[in-house]
Structure 1
């Protein structure tokens, strides 16, 4: 969750720099969550041929929702309309983001799909930009995308890019809703309800496959759900508790780098020099953009995100 607004900030003064210990601790939580997320994606990708990317995403959310609802047992009564708006909106963004990302991973390398997905938080931060330097950061991120797709041996699959950019749109919405839900009193209980909403929305694709999934496939789906949803969401929430949204949002730039490493190590997806340079450029530019823009609008940065 976002840090409380200080008297200095209310008076328009420059906000104090975050403590180094909190920054490093938040980075550790985000790194653990992002690493688990990438491993989860690798496991899930191995099921695409048998189940399909949309079906795998839905089944994974179904398992994660059951686990989180049992563990946190969120209350249903006593919530305002605004609370439910945040919970449902968060779940909608989560379901669409996961489905688009998995469909992209089915067509383009993991590192590139995750990099394009990271453009969502960048655009959200850019929407709050007020200075030229923030616009330059955005241009740097988009230049990185061009390096990935148009450089020597560029990885451009039109449908894969379309799914990845669709995922970025919903990741942008996710960052806004994550901030809203993260500030609510329900905590991880609200998160569990949002995952439940995402699971319900994906039932049309997951339900028809329940009877045909084999025991080994259920095992892989369970591991992917625990790592990529339950564990990652918990790590992101802990990061949001020890540092403000600007810090956490900046650390999410680890996703493209760790996604590329996971694709290389576990899926044999070697990247060209131009794609590697583009991923680094997107991650660095996006991190700087979220950091600078978040100094004035921390609520627009991811503070409890998941990929």
Structure 2
């Protein structure tokens, strides 16, 4: 289920990239978050009453982090290959794991990740668009904020009610940028249909699979498996977008994945 979630999410991102010529990155992310919000709110029907101010602040923080993270990430994959973008984005949660661990071995995992990033910059990916790299790293920072706010929201709301409400906030964050950027292109029937498909692939399927997986797997195991995101992204980028990677770049992705797994395990004890 976790692997299926990772593949669905990254194939959804690849399909989203195909939509960029129609509506641009900002327009596509607005469609994705809007349809995702409608889907989650309809499926889980979160309760709106009976929540404290602190509850709503947690939801707002999660929604802003979610909307900003996706907006930055889509800006990144508009400029650099999907596999590289997810590999760089993963550095955010990896840094969080290293800081949370406070163990000397975590520095070794950080060094391993640094080696992976060096290989990315030393090979053909050394010609990566600087803006795309910056967007991917910024998305990684927001991924860290998403993790922290998600934990806080999950403790205050039952099941995935908090996430569903936060997705609505994320849609509100991204919608103005999408409308200004894409305008009438967002109303094209084909664009709307593919935007809905991206929402199902990137939100509906992954969140459902992850919810069921967390009922069967320890959280630490789940976190380690989620470190395989760059491998899933590389596969989706190759199959859907024709983005090939050489042996050096594949080794770089493998090093970052291994470093993330090691850092997560170290932070868990």
Q: TM-score normalised to the size of structure 1?
A: 0.83
Aligned to 1:220: 194
Deviations 1:29-81 (CA, angstroms, capped at 9, x unpaired): 21111111111111110111121111110111011111211221111110122
Answer with 144-153 or 252-261: which moved more. Answer: 144-153
Structure with higher RCO (Cα < 8 A, 6+ apart): 2
Contact 1:34 1:232 survives alignment (8 Å): yes
Greater Cα shift, 109-118 or 124-133: 124-133
Deviates more, 1:132-141 or 1:75-84: 75-84
- The CA distance in 2 between the partners of 1:161 and 1:211, in whole Å, is 30
Q: Which runs of 5+ in 2 are unaligned?
A: none
Residue 281 (1) aligns with residue 252 (2): no
Tell me the equivalent position of 1:20: none
- Please state if 1:86 is matched with 2:33: no
Give structure 1 stretches of 5+ with no counterpart.
1-28, 296-307
Matches within 5 A, 1:186-225: 186-208=158-180, 209=182, 211-212=184-185, 213-225=187-199
Equivalent residue pairs, number: 267
Shift of the 153–103 alpha-carbon distance from structure 1 to 2, 3 Å rule, reads: closer
Runs of 4+ aligned residues of structure 1 deviating over 6 Å after TM superposition are none
User: Is 1:147 paired with 2:119?
Assistant: yes
Partner of 1:137: 109
In 2: Cα distance, 1:222 partner to 1:68 partner: 13
Match of 2:213? Answer: 239
Match of 2:76 in 1: 104
Distance in 1 between residues matched to 2:118 and 2:218, nearest whole Å? 32
The range that moved more, 265-274 or 206-215, is: 206-215
8 Å CA contact 1:129–1:135 kept in 2: the answer is: no
259-268 or 237-246, larger mean C-alpha shift = 237-246
TM-score (ref. length: structure 2): 0.94
